[in-house]
Amino acid sequence: MWIEIETPMLANELKKSFLASLWFMFLTFPIMVIRVNTVEKIIQWRWANLFFVGIGSFILSALWRYLIRRKEQGIHRTEVDGIARVTLSQRLLGDRRFTIPALIITTIAALVFPFVFSIYQTNIMITALIYVMLGLGLNIVVGLAGLLDLGYVAFYAVGAYSYALLNYHFGLGFWTVLGIGGGLAAMFGIILGFPVLRLRGDYLAIVTLGFGEIIRLILENWNAFSFGPSGIANIPRPGLFGIDLDIEQATIYVYFLMIAMTLFTIFVVNRLQNSRIGRAWIALREDEVACQSMGIDKRKTKLMAFALGATWAGFAGVVFAAKTTFINPASFTIWESINVLCVVVLGGMGSIVGVIVGAFILILLPEYLRFLSEYRMLAFGTVLVMMMVFRPGGIVETVRRTYQYKETDH
Amino acid sequence: MDYFFELFLGGLTRGSIYALIALGYTMVYGIVQLINFAHGEIYMIGAFTALIVISVLTMLGWNQIAILLIAAGAAVVYSSAYGYTMEKIAYKPLRQAPRLSALISAIGMSLFLQNYVLLAQTSDFLPFPALIPDFEFMEPIAHIIGSPELVILITTTIVMVLLTFLIKFTKIGKAMRATAQDRDMAQLVGVDVNRVISVTFIIGSATAAIGGVLIASHIGQINFYIGFIAGIKAFVAAVLGGIGSIPGAVLGSLVLGWTESFFTGYISSDYEDVFAFVFLVLILIFRPAGILGRSTSEKV
Amino acid sequence: MDMEPILNVKQLTMNFGGLRALDNVDLDVHQGEIVALIGPNGAGKTTFFNCITGIYDPSGGDVLISAPKKGKTQRINGLKPNRVTEKGLARTFQNIRLFHNMTVLENVMIGCHCRMKAGILGAVFRGVSTRREEKAVVQKSYSILEKIGLEKYVNDFAKNLPYGAQRRLEIARAMATDPFMLLLDEPAAGMNPHETQDLDALIIRIRENEGISILLIEHDMKLVMSLSDRIFVMDYGKKIAQGTPAEIRKNPAVIKAYLGEEIDA
Amino acid sequence: MKNRLGQFLIVAVVFAFMAAGTAMAADTIKLGVAGPHSGDLASYGIPTIKAAELVVKDINAKGGVLGRQVELLVEDDVCKPEVATNTATKLVSEGVHVVLGHICSGATKAALGIYKDSNIPVMSPSATNPALTQSGDYPNFFRTIASDDAQARLEVDFALDVLKLKKIAVLHDKGDYGKGLAEFAKAFLEKDPRAEVVFYEGITPGAVDYSAVVQKIKKSGAEAVIFGGYHPEASKIVTQMRKKRMDTIFISDDGVKDDTFIKVAQKYAEGVYATGPKDVSSNPMAIAANEAHKKAYGADPGAFYLNAYSAAIALLNAIEQAGSTDYAAVTNALRTKDVETPLGKIRFDDRGDAIGVGFSMYQVKDGAYVELK
């Protein structure tokens, strides 16, 4: 809808935009206009930038205020009506006329994808699917149980290194290690879970962040164990009954493997979410004290969330190692944890569809934003802020399940 | 014993460097309950602004001391302006939103600012001139503690005392404490919460800028990424001391500095950071709210 | 008739640092009773609840329970809240603590948690027994909502309920844990007279129909006097009186505590 | 629904043919260029693109290779292994014949498997990890830079033969490059009876100070420090050592042989030793290449520019010599035929290392690196 702006208001708007643009010109002046090179002792003046900043911020500030007003009006309307606003995404997801064709199209697209598009596209899609898995796993911890985990990448690393190392030392195959990797990650989840049982919110965040860093630093320093920063190369791709696959076939194989595993993840996570355990997680997120007083074992529930969340990262790690065929600690930095967290929050915490959408946007967008080249991360940061400001609940907000409670009419 | 003493001093310097950044971090957290992930970037912008001003003025052939003062002033003004603007854009619209959303917004801001400086300036390390001269009277002990270290120590102490004074005894400080306790209630009794939060960000950013200039001048080089690394360490230090507590931030920073220094000195620097994090976890197991943090058991 | 009290609190003491919030408080509740705990603000009533339900670990004294049908007396202080709930004591909260972003039905289903068995494998494979259990829990929760009169909200988010309904939902949630005794912390706070009346009837119904005994903290004296079989009065962490509503009404210590010293002077 | 599915399949098949068609119809020689072109390591990758552009422009102007024009396909890998595999598959699916890259060793290792399976020769101007050539895992890999162990060898020999040191501390930055180098240095020192390693540790890059480590070096009584890593850390350590009035000799690597190091450490940089590629400033081809860069881009070339320039020449020359883009023929030509490059006349050994490319020792004298003969 368009908001009517009257003439005195328009003048006011222009004035506000003008002031904003002046402010940003002041703000960006030293860094945008002057470029110093203290090595060569050169100073470059780029006055044109000041002009661009001025024009840009004038337009953006007007747009910004318009969007904020729209958002506030939306909230206001909800309050007046007293009815929770049903978002478009929720409506679509609840409508079978939409979901069934959408599912069919997605299935067909997924099936023909590797045959239609190049191996490069398929490879990116595999990465995106790995992130779907990671996102769904982290969603258990953050989205459902409400435990802010900034060290999720540790479990991913556990999975990846268990495949690389077990294969290197004992020649264990992909399928064997897939189970072991998931199990080991779950174990690490519990190891992390114990000391943080008592911690809340931001304390939890920093400890988990530390845990992630500890794992990475150990992998980096303990050469005898992990081959240190130079990493492990020549990790075999997953085998298919001993058939030798060339790179293209192997990629397609991994792609379908990943599709199957993603479906499996969605299936399991969905079931967990709508079970006794899933409800306990959500209750834990909503109110820890009340949750305990309703007879839920806080420790057990938290540990289960950490373990089950970590398991998926373990699986994803094994696939990652098998797909990349080379791993080193540089792939498991805190930015990776942040990336997965962004997948969850951007997509919509607690929502499976949201996480899937979030993963595709976050992984595919930068890949297809390659034309932006060096402006890529700048754009990414901007998108994160904008998303949160204008849609703090994420792209797809959760729909709570409704139960069939009337067996017989009463 | 000499060795111990030198490690002690090294840890003290390192700790007070962390403290200069952690102070602003903890202050913003205490009042807004937001992990301001981009605080490190404000520190970095302060350092860059100072470097730019210094380069320009040096080229114009100004007097050394005038340059120092103007550069520090510009860094403070610009960092505060960035902090203020950042709050208005990325955090204010999210006051009522889930806290995780605000955290993601902060991460987005951090990424944006890093890349903004990277693109507008350079990805390379730039030499940063030593602003603090080697004092005459420090000469006999210069091999143990240098003049820049001394200045950092003194500045950290002053900033800590000033912040404590500000929060405990001034009118705005009272408003800050009220806002920290209960934002809605503070608003009801006539505290201009928006203004209080803006002022908090401005002061927090100003301390980051002072830190940026001093530390950059001590280390001698900067690039766009220094803020992130320093920010994480300062965050750890603030949590260690009890996030939200001003003396806690300093104590946490010093403890972290000493921990790292002694661990490196007596064991190995290979696992320095691992140890720092393990130490943090241990402290938090026994004191879940940090060393000086009051564990606010929720009212049931 | 079982003569042993189902809840027997002896000399319960709780210290917070130097502050003694509870000082040798005794209290007992018998099967089928409605007992009220009253006292001025800050008397230590909620602390008393917290000590019984495991949220605090009391500094001294005993909390003994004897579930009506099992008959054995157990000491429960120091147990975690969830263990206390499993033993059959369920509570509500003074400051409403519902699971706001869950539906009304789910809130009640959470109450059933500790009476359910399904684990991870059950959740994933959703076998016959799990499905049967889920179905039973949904039915049970729905019937509790009907009893409390909240069935029209069943699929609404808890946070969207009117205030009075939220209070009642807390009671429904607590009932879902199959307690032999309910501890209600100011259930009528913030309710209008009409809602309070309904609450009065509801509490009576719970006792009559479900056989659940009630211990409640309440400031609404009209409600307390009409509902309670017995009343305990606390002030400054000490029990200052106990007796039937008629006795309490006349007790000088109680009058003093409520009206302050100046009346005497 | 069925009808629509049919339409979709038709479109899909058409697309597939088009994709295949474009790959076959081309008759240019495709030279892939991969490396970090964005992000914090971009400054290491971008000079390679410029080198490739200049070489290709030059060769195309002279009629191309085997009479075919050379086409550049430039892809970013941000130095991350997982991105590098995407980059590599993209280049492979676009049908590259040879690849110039990648820049970082980790990314190179991750990508090499993919090129190997597709029989594509790869030449890096900068990946110095020894395993790349020495493990024998990558027969398709070549490089125009000496490997880390050669550098470590030179550092150790210099310390022992020229400086005659007895007690040496080895330090690294825990990174792929620095730690790899330090490990070699340590191993070489331990094998030699003339000196002992009194200290071996890693420091955390980006830390605010290194006083504890410096203190520890002082306590260890080392006469010299061999440091594996980059200049930002090196300048901090050297400055801190000198401020503590330690005159411990500082020997480091190519990552420190950078003018920024001298600018940052200033007076404290004096006397520091660092290894770096042999000085080729008198080679006429190098002079021409640098001139071309200045003319085209108005600035001095960046990191690994000459290595990349030489690699591009070597790759295209090998195709010319082999008479086709056939994998066996091209790799054979690389190994057997000498080629004139800005780095001198080079050829590649069986493992893929360039013969005739090496390192020299430099020392900071009066604020500049000077090659020691």
Establish if D179 touches chain B: CB-CB under 8 angstroms.
no
Secondary structure E strands in A320-399: none
Give chain C positions within 8 Å (CB) of A312: none
Q: What is the mean pLDDT of residues C143-147?
A: 91
Give chain B positions within 8 Å (CB) of C93: 300
Report the topology of domain D149-271: Rossmann fold (3.40.50)
Establish if B34 touches chain A: CB-CB under 8 angstroms.
no
Residue of B39, B2, B59, B23 whose CA lies nearest to B249: B23
The pLDDT of residue A82:
46
What's the pLDDT tens digit per position in D318-348?
999 998 888 999 999 999 988 888 988 888 9
The pLDDT of residue A184:
95
Location of structure tokens 């090998």: D318
Residue extents of the structural domains in chain B? 10-227
Percent of chain A with pLDDT over 70: 87
CATH topology identical between D29-145+282-355 and D149-271: yes
Cis ω before D102 (30° cut-off from 0): yes
Q: Give the pairing of strands C230-235 and C34-38.
A: parallel
B34 residue type, one letter: L
Q: How many residues does chain B have?
A: 300
Tell me the helix, strand and coil percentages in chain C, rounded to 5: 45, 25, 35
Q: How far is Cα D28 from Cα A369, in angstroms, rounded to an integer? A: 27
Chain B, residues 240-299, CB within 8 A of chain C, namely: 299
Q: Residue A405: pLDDT band by 50, 70, 90 thresholds? A: low
Q: How far is Cα D57 from Cα D312, in angstroms, rounded to an integer? A: 11
In chain C, DSSP finds a helix count (H) and a strand count (E) of 10, 10
Specify the higher pLDDT residue, B265 or A201: B265
The pLDDT of residue B291:
84
Say yes or no for a CB contact (<8 Å) between B272 and D204.
yes
Q: Which residue of D has its CA nearest to B18?
A: D208
For residue A302, give both structure tokens.
Answer: 């938290």
Q: Residue C265: pLDDT band by 50, 70, 90 thresholds? A: very low
The lowest-confidence range among A89-93, A347-351, B50-54, B138-142 is A89-93
Q: How far is Cα D371 from Cα D373, in angstroms, rounded to an integer? A: 6
The pLDDT of residue D316:
92
Location of structure tokens 């550069």: B71
Say yes or no for a CB contact (<8 Å) between C50 and B300.
yes
The pLDDT of residue A362:
83
CA quadruple A158, A161, A165, A166: dihedral, nearest 10: 50
CB atoms within 10 A of CB C256: 14
Q: What is the mean pLDDT of residues A73-99?
A: 62
Helices (H), A118-246: 119-138, 153-170, 174-193, 201-221, 223-226
Specify the higher pLDDT residue, B175 or A404: B175
The pLDDT of residue D40:
66
Specify the higher pLDDT residue, A31 or A91: A31
Helices (H), chain D: 2-25, 42-61, 81-93, 105-117, 131-134, 148-157, 176-191, 211-220, 231-243, 259-265, 284-297, 305-322, 327-336
The pLDDT of residue A78:
56
Q: How far is Cα A223 from Cα D323, in angstroms, rounded to an integer? A: 45
Q: How far is Cα C23 from Cα C43, in angstroms, rounded to an integer? A: 11
Q: What is the mean pLDDT of residues A319-330?
A: 90
Which chains touch C (3+ CB pairs under 8 A)?
A, B
Task: Give the pTM.
Answer: 0.87
What's the pLDDT tens digit per position in D124-152?
998 888 888 888 888 999 999 888 888 89
Residue of B231, B267, B233 whose CA lies nearest to B252: B233
Q: Is the dihedral of CA D220, D225, D228, D231 positive or negative?
A: positive
Q: Provide Rg for chain A, Cα atoms.
A: 25
Give chain A positions within 8 Å (CB) of B59: 43
Residue B41 near residue B223 (C-beta atoms within 8 A): no
Helices (H), C176-251: 193-205, 221-227, 245-250
Q: Is the dihedral of CA B288, B292, B297, B299 positive or negative?
A: negative
In chain A, DSSP finds a helix count (H) and a strand count (E) of 16, 2
- Domains along chain C? 1-88+179-265 (3.40.50.300), 100-178 (no CATH)
| CA atoms within 13 Å, Cβ hemisphere of A232 | 26
Q: Could you tell me the CA-to-CA distances from D66 to C155, D119, D340 in Å, in that order? A: 75, 20, 18
Establish if D172 touches chain B: CB-CB under 8 angstroms.
no
Establish if D299 touches chain B: CB-CB under 8 angstroms.
no
Q: How far is Cα C148 from Cα C165, in angstroms, rounded to an integer? A: 9
| CA atoms within 13 Å, Cβ hemisphere of C186 | 15
Residue B176 near residue B191 (C-beta atoms within 8 A): no
Q: Residue D17: pLDDT band by 50, 70, 90 thresholds? A: very low
Say yes or no for a CB contact (<8 Å) between C113 and A294.
yes
How many interchain CB pairs under 8 A, A with B? 180
**Complete edge-to-edge strand list for the sheet that includes strand D339-341:** D339-341, D344-348, D354-355
Q: Could you tell me the CA-to-CA distances from D23 to C62, C104, D92 in Å, in that order? A: 84, 60, 10
Q: What is the mean pLDDT of residues C59-79?
A: 84
Say yes or no for a CB contact (<8 Å) between B269 and D235.
no
Q: Provide Rg for chain C, Cα atoms.
A: 19
Q: Residue D75: pLDDT band by 50, 70, 90 thresholds? A: confident
Residue of B277, B293, B238 whose CA lies nearest to B28: B238
**Four-way CATH pick for D29-145+282-355: 3.30.2350.10, 3.40.50.2300, 3.30.530.20, 3.30.1360.80:** 3.40.50.2300
Establish if D215 touches chain B: CB-CB under 8 angstroms.
yes
Residue D197 near residue D188 (C-beta atoms within 8 A): no
Element (H, E) at D169: strand D167-172
Give chain B positions within 8 Å (CB) of C94: 300
CB atoms within 10 A of CB A180: 16
Q: Residue D19: pLDDT band by 50, 70, 90 thresholds? A: very low
Query: Read out DSSP for D40-64?
Result: TTHHHHHHHHHHHHHHHHHHHHTT-
The pLDDT of residue D1:
40
What's the pLDDT tens digit per position in A128-185?
999 999 999 999 999 899 888 989 999 999 999 999 999 999 988 888 999 999 999 9
Which chains touch D (3+ CB pairs under 8 A)?
A, B
Residues belonging to chain A with any Cβ–Cβ distance to chain C shorter than 8 Å: 82, 84, 268, 271-272, 275-280, 282-283, 286-287, 289-298, 304, 308, 398, 400, 402-407, 410
Element (H, E) at A88: helix A88-94
Which chains touch A (3+ CB pairs under 8 A)?
B, C, D
Q: Residue C262: pLDDT band by 50, 70, 90 thresholds? A: very low
The per-residue pLDDT string of chain B (300 residues; one tens digit each, 9 = 90 and over) reads 688 988 898 899 889 989 999 998 899 888 888 888 899 999 999 999 999 999 899 888 888 888 888 999 999 999 999 999 999 999 988 888 877 788 889 989 998 999 899 888 877 788 888 887 777 777 777 777 788 888 889 999 999 999 999 988 999 999 998 888 888 888 888 889 999 999 999 999 999 999 999 889 888 888 888 888 888 889 889 988 888 888 999 999 999 999 999 998 898 888 888 888 888 888 888 888 888 876 655 566
Residue of D32, D42, D36, D55 whose CA lies nearest to D122: D32
Residue of D58, D40, D89 whose CA lies nearest to D291: D58
Domain A117-390 has CATH 1.10.3470: yes
- β-partners of residue C27 are C9
The lowest-confidence range among A107-121, B136-150, B180-194, D38-52 is B136-150
Q: How far is Cα C221 from Cα C240, in angstroms, rounded to an integer? A: 17
Specify the higher pLDDT residue, A366 or A80: A366
Q: Could you tell me the CA-to-CA distances from D81 to A325, A326, A329, D143 in Å, in that order? A: 9, 7, 10, 18
Establish if D303 touches chain A: CB-CB under 8 angstroms.
no
Residue A12 near residue B100 (C-beta atoms within 8 A): no
Residue A346 near residue A118 (C-beta atoms within 8 A): no
Q: Give the pairing of strands D167-172 and D122-124.
A: unpaired
Interface test with C, best of A297, A403, A406 (most C CBs within 10 A): A403
Give chain C positions within 8 Å (CB) of A275: 118, 122-123, 126, 130, 134
Q: How far is Cα B76 from Cα C178, in angstroms, rounded to an integer? A: 62
Q: Residue A390: pLDDT band by 50, 70, 90 thresholds? A: confident
Residue C98 near residue C160 (C-beta atoms within 8 A): no
Q: Is the pLDDT of residue A38 over 70?
A: no
Q: Is the pLDDT of residue D21 over 50?
A: no
Q: Is the pLDDT of residue C141 over 80?
A: yes
Establish if A372 touches chain B: CB-CB under 8 angstroms.
no
What's the pLDDT tens digit per position in A275-319?
899 999 999 988 888 999 998 999 999 999 999 999 999 999 999
Q: How many residues does chain C have?
A: 265
Percent of chain A with pLDDT over 90: 28
What's the pLDDT tens digit per position in C103-112?
999 999 998 8
Q: Which residue of B has its CA nearest to C48?
A: B300
Interface test with A, best of B277, B278, B282, B286 (most A CBs within 10 A): B277
Q: Is the pLDDT of residue A79 over 90?
A: no
**Complete edge-to-edge strand list for the sheet that includes strand C7-16:** C19-29, C7-16, C60-66, C73-75
Chain A, residues 127-156, CB within 8 A of chain B, namely: 142, 148
Residue D21 near residue B101 (C-beta atoms within 8 A): no
Q: How far is Cα B41 from Cα B46, in angstroms, rounded to an integer? A: 8
Contacts of D360 (CB under 8 A, 6+ apart): D154, D275, D276, D277, D278, D279, D371, D372, D373
The pLDDT of residue A398:
67
What's the pLDDT tens digit per position in A125-134?
999 999 999 9
Residue D194 near residue D159 (C-beta atoms within 8 A): no
Domain with CATH 1.10.3470 in chain A: 117-390
Mean pLDDT, chain D, whole residue set: 86
Q: Is the pLDDT of residue D56 over 90?
A: yes
